Amino acid sequence: MNKISFLLFIQLLLIFELSFSLDFKYDQKVGRKLRFKNQVIFDIYQNKIYQESDDQMNKAVLEITAVSNGIGVYNGKYFNYGHKGTNESYRLMNVYSGTYSQDERGKMFVSPRDIIPSTRSVPTFPTNSINIGDNWNARGEEVLKNIFDKNGVFKIDVDVKYRYLSNLIITNKTLAVISLEYDILYNPEDDPALASIYGFTHNLFYWDIESSAPYFYSEEINLLYTSRNGDAILYKGNSASIMEEISDVTNVEKANLMKEISSQVSSPSNGINIREAIDGIIVNLGNILFDINFYNIKKEFEEKLDKLAAILNQHPALDIVVSGHTDNTGTSPYNTILSENRAMAITDYLVSKGVVKTRISYMGYGPTKPIADNSTASGRTLNRRVEIKIITKE
């Protein structure tokens, strides 16, 4: 998905405006599961000179595990993705987990130890009903990295200004459109490197009225970091997020999907096999797609990947992770790079066949996840593989 696709999605749909008073509350039901995907694109300047662009994606899967007195407990899994060089596909960079609580108006309660989620209590709604044109303010919190210290973070209180703009109907969803903005002003007194962070964010936030949950937002961000030696680093960019309620694939649906993939892709003769995991379906492509020490896909196997891509495109709600693996011969750094490049090659190919890039990522594990004994030739052959995992349970 490119950097403007979310915005085009909103702009190209038929829009109607409605008008009525609303009492905004999060619908907090035990077992409810939400998935958030956020794409962020920054241009980075140092002392007013352009340096590079940074394109990242973040995913969060949140499940409400308990509700008491209007406060829900959210268990979350968080995934951060980036690019390798100029490559377009997303590489899985970091995985986090965490728990926080949130009241029905949006105020969050997060452990002081946790740095995720990084934007907190946004949006927060007033306790009374509001009408189109109404304004309100509420406190939020931003967690920002200290770019001069890779292990440092800052938790910054922000005063968020809200305005209820309109209601829209988009593809059978009634959405409330809310603008929100806040400034970031932070001057740490005791940090040896950072002198200040100044910035702002302007948002358009779309709230799904029927499901009482966020649906979409677009954001303009500017952050200026100034060091104590006078360097100024500006992050200037945009982000967009889509939020959706999800449910796990049923056992019957999972079995049918496995059968379809097996009939189209898997066979003993080509070394491609399929197996079930607790949270998904794993298609093991083996090692025969590549020549030794190379990561260019052999032409004779592209037809199988074409068929797999066609199946994946029929199930657009399911995310995919491609992982590369090697045996333990050779050096670990070399094997890690080789496994990553092979996983990236498969990911790039599937994206070229229509798989949306915000639902697929890759990772190279080198020799760290063997499935057989590396002391035998047959075991090493099995360990040299690329696996495609289709997530059926987030």
pTM for this prediction: 0.87
3-state SS assignment for residue 382 = helix
Residues 178 and 310 in one domain: no
Rounded mean pLDDT of 93-103?
Answer: 94
pLDDT surpassing 80 at residue 27: yes
Residues 321 and 198 in one domain: no
Residue that terminates a domain, selected from 226, 245, 264:
245
Least confident of 122-126, 270-274, 348-352: 270-274
Residue that terminates a domain, selected from 245, 262, 280:
245
Residues 121 and 239 in one domain: yes
Please name which of 287, 289, 367 lies closest in space to residue 335, comparing C-alpha atoms.
Answer: 367
Residues 22 and 71 in one domain: yes
What per-residue confidence (pLDDT) applies to 299? 86
Residues 153 and 16 in one domain: yes
Residues 177 and 73 in one domain: yes
Residues 43 and 58 in one domain: yes
Residues across the chain? 394
Residues 322 and 198 in one domain: no
3-state SS assignment for residue 100 = strand
Range of the domain at 281: 251-391
Residue with tokens 């995907």: 37
Q: How far is CA 307 from CA 70, 232, 310, in A?
A: 48, 50, 5
Q: For residue range 244-290, list pLDDT tens digits in order.
A: 999 999 999 999 999 999 988 876 666 788 999 999 999 998 777 77
Least confident of 112-121, 267-276, 337-346: 267-276
What per-residue confidence (pLDDT) applies to 16? 45
Considering the chain, what percentage of its residues have pLDDT values greater than 70? Answer: 93
Residues 363 and 341 in one domain: yes
Maximum separation of any 2 CA atoms in the chain, in Å: 71
pLDDT band at 75 (very low <50, low <70, confident <90, very high): very high
Residues 276 and 184 in one domain: no
What per-residue confidence (pLDDT) applies to 4? 46
Tell me, what CATH number does 99's domain have?
Answer: 2.30.230
Can you spell out the DSSP letters for 14-57?
Answer: ---EE---B-------TT-EEEEEEEEEEEEEETTEEEEEEEEE
Tell me, what CATH number does 311's domain have?
Answer: 3.30.1330.60
pLDDT surpassing 90 at residue 14: no
Count how many domains the chain has. Answer: 2
- The answer to whether 279 touches 273, Cβ cutoff 8 Å, is no
Residues 55 and 145 in one domain: yes
Residues 64 and 185 in one domain: yes
Residue that terminates a domain, selected from 218, 245, 272:
245
